[in-house]
A and B are shown apart, each in its own frame.
Chain A
Amino acid sequence: MTAHFNEMYQNGAVRAPYARLEGWTKAMPAELRHLKQAEAEALFRRIGITFAVYGEGGDPDRLIPFDMFPRVFTAQEWARLERGIKQRARALNAFLVDVYGRGEIVRSGRIPARLVYQNDAYEKAVVGFVPPKGVYSHIVGIDLVRTGPEDFFVLEDNCRTPSGVSYMLENREIMMRMFPDLFRENRIEPVDRYPEILRRTLASVAPQKCRHDPVVVILTPGHFNSAYYEHSFLADMMGVELVEGQDLFVQGEYVYMRTTEGPKRVDVIYRRIDDAFIDPLCFRPDSMLGIPGLMDVYRSGGVSICSAPGAGVADDKAVYTYVPEMIRFYLGEEPLLMNVPTWKCAEADDLAYVLDKLGDLVVKEVHGSGGYGMLIGPTSSAAEIETFRGRILADPGNYIAQPTLALSTTPTFVEQGIAPRHVDLRPYCLVGERIELVPGGLTRVALKEGSLVVNSSQGGGVKDTWVLAE
């Protein structure tokens, strides 16, 4: 059994960032803790922060379990992460502009052509088009894990429409409401500027043809979507309209929304629906969520779409392995954040190694997400491993493998009191005219003892994430 790095206790002593939290937990009897937990839940319900799960029976409005024990970073730790995250966001965007343009990185032989050009996420419809300010991915969610005091690894990049930022903001609001003393005692960097920065970022990539103060909207698949709360929350915080496909239409060279005063022009669309659905004339013809003709307007500079169609090719799990190479190639810098060592089953040597060590590795589908379609070797039965072996052999190119990381833990409230549970971190980097990052992110926690899966769809919870001021 590997020793897991505990972010609060090290060699029996409390690490500095958590110093003031020990007294706080000690002073909280079990009854008070239960009371507070119930209060937090009631607050979440009242605000309406649920993630709707339809079609599975049970309560359609479920709460993501919220753990009141905060996760803390020092200013120094964060400064390092911030540099690494921004570096990565720059490189990913440079890569996107390149592969839809001249493809220098492929020509130079640093990344295989088929991985890019035959990727399902590569949009031929936008080849040769450079979005405003050369930005494809405006909100880059980078999933990080920690294995030691100085060791952070990037687990994956999310360049399309990473979700969860509303939890970052609401977790903080609720913590401040319930434990104001904690915020007086600790100097915690605020995160509440996020919506303002997001709006500025979106406005900064208005299309060339827009000569006025840009009209920004958020495009949602609708109120049945599990992240609908987040869409409406962000629209509200930014003061922009939350639209569905049916609210927009194309006329001439522009996109308009249907309003009570008649049609109104839209300049920037922050879409929370996939490429495949945004325009039935260009992509899936059966999409009821999109706007016919949108891509024509987009390519002629009449509207901006965030993230830009085609951005998905950069966050593919097979492309992920080349991100350090991108950083060197485009920025001439050494990567500040490490990738998790990854074996590509598409390559014969790697495949042989993976099949040999299947019981020790984590194997993921290249295009999978949400913790589905993966094998965690050490916690799987022999039969499960054999079944998975068959699947890998049938389509090796669809899989990558990584060592099981010794994910760090933070103290978490559990039934019996406080116990260490594994966590990860998703900060949200905003890319427009400038690159910005609010000090914080979403910490997801695997609530089951020993579990390494933090996804909310599989029993994960969330925590408030603090960055201490210097």
Chain B
Amino acid sequence: MLSRTAANLYWIARYMERAETAARLLEVGARISLLPSAQGYRNEWDSLLLAAGSSIGFRAKYGEAVPRNIESWLFFDRDNPSSVAASITSARENGRIVRTALTSQVWDALNGAFQDLRDLERQPRSGLELSRITEWTMRQCAMMRGAIDATLLRNDGYNFLNLGYYLERGDSTARLMDVKYYVLLPKIEYVGTGYDNYQWTTLLRALSSHRAFHWAYGGEVTASKIAHFLILNPQCPRSLITCVAGMNNHLGRLAKLYGQPTDLQARVAALQSQIEGLNEDMIFEEGLHEFLSRFIIETADLAAMVHETYLSGDMR
């Protein structure tokens, strides 16, 4: 496969997952801000932008964190490269370039999302409920995944798509969890209170894992159960361990397909066994924020290695 084609496929997946992350962040923010807190809504929304990694860009353009502006920024704004609109547009442009590596179902899902988006952009903002646009985004992303799983050949392109998905999703789960850190930072005494638990629940809802969590754990929602669920539990589709194992799996398939083991896969395998060796106490001992930051940096390094190994096409 052409390296550039592999890169396009990998980025289609990353952008689609990124669109979903932006929508989920919006949902977390909207729910957290419904709860009366000492700081009012502002604190929650600020934390959201920090977690999205786009606080500086937002401030430069809008200044104050007004909910409406944050909605625009995270959903419609093309100045924000991680907004839903920018991500879906980039995913579709990448798809257009490698149209021939996609089935018509996958292309329909991708192009359909883009055409719908243009319709949404033409509608008056006041008529668009936040929940409608976040649900719309998640539905588009789900249709895309469904089309990929149902129709695409299990060839190297499929592995590059999935590699993109898992890498971006791991990064996204880590960032969404990290929102908690920023929200709770000013008042450490909130930890373990009802307020704290409400926020954790909100996070679960945003990850569409609320019910799954209760099935898996039952009883009280606690920080340590949630950390276990979102980081260590291989049953959770968005947990860090699931994402790392997914990357490992698809890198393994590529290595086998090409008959060429890589340093990249060795490093992902090492990361997987490292996380498998952890328990939630060890994570809180290190500090959840510190652990998540470390994971986010590791993910960035892995992304660089993916490029070097497969997407540059140089002699190895």
Chain A residues close to B by CB (< 8 Å)? 46-48, 223, 232-233, 235-236, 241-244, 246-247, 257-263
Contacts and interface: CB of A to CB of B under 8 A. Distances in A.
Given A48-B111, A232-B99, A232-B100, A263 B4 contact: no
A260 B96 contact: no
Interface string B95-139: 011011000100110010000000000000000000000000000
A173 to B, nearest CB: 12
A258 B312 contact: yes
B1 interface: yes
Contacts of A261: 1, 258, 260
Contacts of A232: 97, 99-100
> Chain B interface: which size bin?
20 to 34
13 contacts: A48-B107, A232-B99, A236-B100, A241-B2, A242-B100, A247-B313, A257-B313, A258-B312, A259-B2, A259-B313, A260-B3, A260-B6, A261-B258
A223 B97 contact: yes
Given A236-B99, A258-B2, 10 more contacts: A223-B97, A247-B313, A257-B2, A258-B3, A258-B312, A260-B156, A260-B160, A260-B254, A260-B311, A261-B1
Nearest to B4: A247
A242 B96 CA distance: 13
Nearest to B6: A260
B34 interface: no
Given A48-B99, A246-B4, A262 B315 contact: yes
B310 interface: yes
B68 interface: no
Given A46-B108, A48-B111, A260 B97 contact: no
B111 A247 contact: no
B258 A243 contact: no
A187 B216 CA distance: 64
Nearest to B99: A232
B220 interface: no
Contacts of A223: 93, 96-97
B206 to A, nearest CB: 33
Interface of B: 1-6, 93, 96-97, 99-100, 104, 107-108, 111, 156, 160, 254, 258, 260, 310-316
Nearest to A223: B97
B4 A258 contact: yes
A331 B3 CA distance: 47
A235 B156 CA distance: 18
A263 B315 CA distance: 7
A92 to B, nearest CB: 31
Contacts of A241: 2, 5
Nearest to A240: B100
Contact of A260 (B1, B93, B108): B1
Contacts of B107: 48
A48 B99 CA distance: 9
Nearest to B8: A223
Given A46-B108, A260-B310, A243 B2 contact: yes
B100 A259 contact: no
Contacts of A46: 108, 111
Nearest to B259: A261
A46 B114 CA distance: 12
Contacts of A243: 2, 4
A236 B103 CA distance: 11
A258 B314 contact: yes
Contacts of B108: 46
A233 B104 CA distance: 13
Contacts of A257: 2, 313
A246 B4 CA distance: 9
A175 to B, nearest CB: 19
A247 B100 contact: no
Contacts of A235: 100
A271 to B, nearest CB: 16
Nearest to B94: A223
A344 B284 CA distance: 87
Contact of A263 (B99, B160, B313): B313
B158 to A, nearest CB: 13
A241 B4 CA distance: 11
Contacts of B3: 247, 258-260
Contacts of B316: 262
A48 B4 CA distance: 21
Nearest to B311: A260
Contacts of A236: 99-100
Contacts of A247: 2-4, 313
Nearest to A258: B313
Contacts of A258: 2-4, 312-314
A260 B100 contact: no
B310 to A, nearest CB: 5
Contacts of A242: 100
B16 to A, nearest CB: 18
A443 to B, nearest CB: 26
Contacts of B313: 247, 257-260, 262-263
Nearest to A246: B4
Most buried by A among B5, B313, B315: B313
